[in-house]
Amino acid sequence: MPTIEPLDCAAELGIPAERLPRHIAVIMDGNGRWARQRDMERVKGHEAGAENVREIVTQCARLGVEALTLYSFSTENWRRPIDEITRLMSLYVEYLIKEREEIMDNDVRLVQIGRRDRLPPDVLRELDETARLSANNRGMTLCLALNYSSRVEIVDAVRKIAERIRSGDLDPNEINEQTIDASLYTAGLPDPDLLVRTAGEMRISNFLLWQISYAELYVTDTLWPDFHREDLNNAIRAYAARERRFGGLNK
């Protein structure tokens, strides 16, 4: 990830800064199809996808996006062949080590959402080290959804709330949306304004179900390894052109 130079949204995208989404969430789909189209093993698609993360993270940070959440590995992905999972886990270790200096240089804060169980010790070690070093950074938050499931997240949030009730810290009648927000893995982050899905699939895939209640959806047929800076810019332009009513009416 090269040193990030801030961009003028109007100059780069042709939109005013206030039209920039605060939080972008991405379902990075299509690595396997990208590899098959080139008669490669699926793992080569994951390697190409991992390389592409750098370009998208850099562009979001340069534009001033507050948070970028990448759906990296779901709890359902453990069903994949063991060789593919092993390579994916090694890619996380490689990425976290290789990008650590640039993350620090560019004031990016790294966090992980998802359960830690089943993640290999070396992945946890590098995640924790990068998260620790970047904890006080004040630039963009890069949120890796790793071993993540939105339904599991909601279950964990309910358990956390139940523990507060059992300990006498919370009255059930006081539970509201803010109580739930504060109990989710994403506590402290703004809800996504824009959800991007690559590779043309028209589904959410158990991703941030609570948080994307009012997110604008942008689906592209472009496969993740081919989703580059201008593709991201086009997604943001499409978002900026929409009228967000949040259940109300146009003025």
Catalytic residue check, 105: no
Of 8, 29, 191, 233, the catalytic one is 29
Q: What's CA 135's distance to the chain center, in Å?
A: 17
pLDDT digits (tens, 9 = 90+) for 60-115: 999 999 999 999 999 999 999 999 999 999 999 999 999 999 899 889 999 999 99
Q: What is the pLDDT of residue 12?
A: 86
Of 77, 137, 206, 234, the catalytic one is 77
Res. 9: pLDDT tops 90: no
pTM of this prediction exceeds 0.85: yes
Q: Give the amino acid at 14.
A: G
Is residue 1 very low, low, confident or very high in pLDDT (cuts 50, 70, 90)?
very low
Q: What is the pLDDT of residue 249?
A: 59
Domain boundaries, the chain: 9-240
Q: Give the amino acid at 132.
A: R
Mean pLDDT across 216-226: 98
Sorted by sequence, the CB contacts under 8 Å of residue 145 that are 6+ apart come out as 69, 70, 71, 72, 73, 74, 112, 113, 114, 207, 208
pLDDT cut 70: percent of the chain above it: 95
Catalytic residue check, 29: yes
The tokens describing 180, both together, are 């739930």
Looking at 3.40.50.300, 3.40.1180.10, 2.40.10.340, 3.40.120.10, the CATH number of the domain 9-240 comes to 3.40.1180.10
